[in-house]
Amino acid sequence: MRSEQKLPRSGRINARDLNTLTPGAARKGRGAVSNPDGRFEIHKTSEFDDGWENGFDGLDKASEASWHRETAKSIITRNQSPDISFDRSINPYRGCEHGCIYCFARPSHAYLGHSAGVDFERQLYFKQNAISLLKKEMSSRNYVPSPIALGVNTDAYQPEERRLRLTRGLIEVLAEFHHPVTMITKSGLIRRDIDLLAPMAELGLARVAISLTTLQPDLARKMEPRAASPALRLKTIEALSSAGIPTAIMTAPLIPGLNDMEIEALLEAGRNAGAERAGYVLLRLPHDLKDIFQEWLIRHYPDRAQRVINTLREMRGGLDYDADWQKRQKGEGPMAKLIASRFHKAAARLGYDQSKTPLRVDLFRKPEPDSRQTSFNF
């Protein structure tokens, strides 16, 4: 039986608070340990094992992933957030099979009627008309180019991308239009598209960031169960950098008491692999994610759960999350200042270039109609 009790939303917690919770069992190959109802659902359910949970073959149903076609009405998403460096993005996929327990996109699955827990990792969507939409939107008479961030909500290089090739198709269109693009991923699959990204980078049209959260294989397996290993991500940085593609390392998210002790080691490993720039973001726990992460933390790291949660709250003004644009990325207070100081001193010592050279927009062009690629079909 899974307990429906939750930790208090604010203030310090103690061991007694933790002892009132009974987190779900760890699920092999999954980040989340439960599948709570979405926050917009009218009816609420509780999980329990009636003896038939795993079926007759002994397989965990949570290991199954279902992919659904989605016909999008538009593909370029706009934002006016002052704390991020781009005003538009493209996300060809919704949900993410990588299963990272800390993913800030998990709560968005509620808009699809799914849970931010296991559903986020197994009920997955691909925008089947993404490529044709991108051509249409960039061909608009009123379109003004600005760097597009590709795959920032959920990873554009999920395992299914090998078959669907949506991300590659989008890059082909961006290259055809000479449109600038930035990308962030934790997948080694991006190496497949070096043949497209390298010529764009040479023109000042492409930049990539690789998310590297930990160098500890055991922590990575629990925290990012289906993402590329830390070693493969470092090899990916090396491959991209060797091809002349400006590559950054994102030590994100930093979680005090779990991976913040690795800041200097992560930056050094990234620099040795060829990363030119570096960045970090403090763990963010919006909406349903706070409960899903805390449940995971208590299940896998009960010895340090209290310290991690309390430290995060100290960096969020006593709350699990503060959405203030001035604070949500870095936090506040003494610990936030210490992390910032450590990060910037290490980055300076290692020779990271923290300048923000803009990508070019002056090369943008709209191809003649008869030269455009054919629509993407399944």
Specify if 176 maps to a domain.
Answer: yes
Round to whole Å and give the CA distance between 270 and 262. 12
| Residue whose pair of structure tokens reads 């969020």 in the numeric block | 316
Q: In the predicted model, is pLDDT for residue 69 greater than 60?
A: yes
Q: Are 44 and 24 in contact (CB under 8 A)?
A: no
Cis peptide bond prior to 253, omega within 30° of 0: yes
Specify if 107 maps to a domain.
Answer: yes
| Residue whose pair of structure tokens reads 């690629």 in the numeric block | 373
Measured CA to CA in angstroms, residue 200 lies from 40, 161, 181 at distances of 42, 21, 9
Neighbours of 113 (CB within 10 A): 12
Of 38-42, 141-145, 174-178, least confident by mean pLDDT is: 38-42
Range of the domain at 344: 30-50+60-351
Whole-number mean pLDDT of the chain?
Answer: 87
Which two three-digit tokens encode residue 248? 């950054």
Per-residue b/e over 274-303, b at no fewer than 16 CB within 10 Å?
bbbbbbbbbbbbbbbbbbbbbbbbbbbbee
Integer Rg of the chain from CA:
21
Specify if 18 maps to a domain.
Answer: no
Specify if 5 maps to a domain.
Answer: no
52 band by pLDDT with thresholds 50, 70 and 90: very low
Which two three-digit tokens encode residue 321? 């999350």
Specify if 166 maps to a domain.
Answer: yes
- Average of per-residue pLDDT across 91-100: 95
Nearest 5°: CA angle at 40, between 37 and 41? 50
pLDDT given at position 31: 66
CATH code for position 289: 3.80.30.30
Round to whole Å and give the CA distance between 1 and 51. 12
Q: In the predicted model, is pLDDT for residue 24 greater than 70?
A: no
Per-residue b/e over 17-37, b at no fewer than 16 CB within 10 Å?
bbeebebbeebeebbbbbbbb
Which two three-digit tokens encode residue 239? 């491959």
Specify if 360 maps to a domain.
Answer: no
Report the range out of 17-21, 129-133, 286-290 with the highest average pLDDT. Answer: 129-133
Specify if 15 maps to a domain.
Answer: no
Q: How many domains does the chain have?
A: 1
Specify if 245 maps to a domain.
Answer: yes
Q: In the predicted model, is pLDDT for residue 224 greater than 90?
A: yes
pLDDT tens, residue by residue, 281-327: 999 999 889 999 999 999 999 999 999 999 999 999 999 988 887 78
* φ, ψ at 15 (rounded to 5°): -60, -30
81 band by pLDDT with thresholds 50, 70 and 90: confident
Residue (of 346, 317, 376, 309) closest to 15 by Cα position:
309
